[in-house]
Amino acid sequence: MPLTPDEVRRVAMLARIELSEPEIATAQAQLNSIFSLIETLQATDTKGVTPMSHAGDLVARLREDRVTEIDQRDRFQSVAPQVERGLYLVPRVIE
């Protein structure tokens, strides 16, 4: 089922990726060609098959609840696009 330009716009919004009109057209064509490959999955009967989300059946490990990290704020913020007084700066969201 081919994607419409509106569906491409919606997905791009969900993914927070700005697309220009020509990019939407290109994405639509490429996604549809990829989805025609993906559609081949539908022909297989998988009734009763448990989905496999991970290789090996992992058991979540627990650890002791104690502080393991040291404060490295300055170090980590040195690679941030914009910081001020130890805070990450973003455009104003609340007027």
Binding of residue 75 to other proteins (CB under 8 A)? yes
Judged by CB under 8 A, which of 22, 52, 65, 66 binds other proteins? 52
What DSSP letter does each residue of 20-33 carry, written as one string?
-HHHHHHHHHHHHH
Q: Which of 21, 22, 50, 66 lies at the binding interface for other proteins (CB under 8 A)?
A: 50
- Give the C-alpha distances (Å, rounded to integers) separating 49 from 13, 44, 45, 90: 33, 11, 9, 46
Using an 8 Å Cβ cutoff, are 43 and 53 in contact? no
Smallest distance from the beta carbon of 67 to other proteins, in angstroms?
A: 15
Q: Where does this chain bind other proteins (CB under 8 A)? A: 3, 7-8, 11-19, 27, 30-31, 33-42, 44, 46, 49-56, 58, 60-61, 63, 72, 75-76, 78-82, 88, 90-93
